[in-house]
Amino acid sequence: MIAYHYDRAGLYQSNSQADESPLEPGVYLLPANSTFVAPPVEVPDERWPRWNGVSWDLVNRPQPADRDDPIAKLADFLAQNPDVAALLSTPRK
């Protein structure tokens, strides 16, 4: 059985063959940060599969920001994560 691995953000990383349990034949051991649910086969270049805990969503592929400019890095992050930008722009009480 194939296990599909994702990082802390849920972004797909790789896959591997899951090991069968030595105590329960026919039961496969699921590694940490992985699922047995396969990501979509067809993924546009600008998108990336992200595990949401139940299924795979296709999200915008993160683009590396200029590491020397923290403001550019933050602006790039907010552009790629409009939900976070909207949360930050919500007035606080």
Q: Let me know whether 52 and 78 are in one domain.
A: no
Give the closest residue to 60 by CA, choosing from 75, 45, 74, 38. 45
User: Do 22 and 40 share a structural domain?
Assistant: yes
The predicted-structure confidence for 70-85, as pLDDT tens digits, reads as follows 887 787 778 878 777 7
Measure the CA–CA gap between 44 and 47, rounded to whole angstroms: 5
Structural domain boundaries enclosing 19: 1-61
Whether 72 and 40 map to the same domain: the answer is no
Look up tokens 């059985």; give the residue.
1
Give 72's contacts (C-beta < 8 A, 6+ positions apart). Answer: 65, 66
pLDDT tens digit sequence for 20-40: 999 999 999 999 999 999 999
- The pTM of this model reads 0.66
Higher pLDDT, 60 or 93: 60
E strand residue ranges, 12-81:
12-17, 34-35, 47-51, 56-60
Together in a domain, 45 and 76 = no
Looking at the DSSP bridge assignments, the partners of residue 62 are: none
